[in-house]
Amino acid sequence: MSRQDKNPADGTPNSGVVTKSRAKTKKPAMYKVLMLNDDYTPMEFVVHVLERFFAKSHEDAVRIMLHVHHRGVGVCGVFTYEIAETKVNQVMDLARQHQHPLQCTIEKDGTE
Ligand code: TYC
């Protein structure tokens, strides 16, 4: 029996079973970017925001905008915190530039 076949701690023989140990990687916490309805922001502007900052197709953007319009709130996407925060800032900055009251917030994603 060679040296490698013994447990270095106490010198007892190893089982010979090869086990793989992998460093534990944790998935990052994810955050939903939520869009809120209001009475003044034009529908086309919301669709544009969804296409530009959330890479939605025109059809998806219209669907999400109408969901928010009818239900009051909707999910634009799910991201790590830093990205979610950046998206919210981009949306709010553009809305402010156009003097629309559009509001966007972050909510921690429960699934994970
Ligand atoms: N309710 C707005 C309107 O009738 C449209 C709208 C949709 C505004 C979604 C905000 O997040 C929003 N012009």
C-alpha 65 to ligand 1 mean position (Å):
7
pTM: 0.81
The yes-or-no verdict on residue 10 having pLDDT over 60 is no
Q: What is the dihedral of CA 34, 38, 41, 45, to 10 degrees?
A: 30
Q: Who's near 42: CB < 8 A, 6+ residues apart?
A: 100
Confidence of residue 23 (pLDDT cuts 50, 70, 90): confident
**Mutation test of ligand 1: which of 37, 39, 67 has the most ligand atoms closer than 8 Å to its C-beta?**
37
Report CA-CA distances (Å) from 19 to 26, 59, 61. Answer: 21, 50, 49
- Tens-place pLDDT, residues 40-84: 999 999 999 999 999 999 999 999 999 999 999 999 999 999 999
Atom 5 in ligand 1: which residue has the minimum CA distance?
Answer: 43
Residue bearing the CA closest to ligand 1, atom 2: 39
Residue 79 alpha carbon to ligand 1 centre in Å: 23
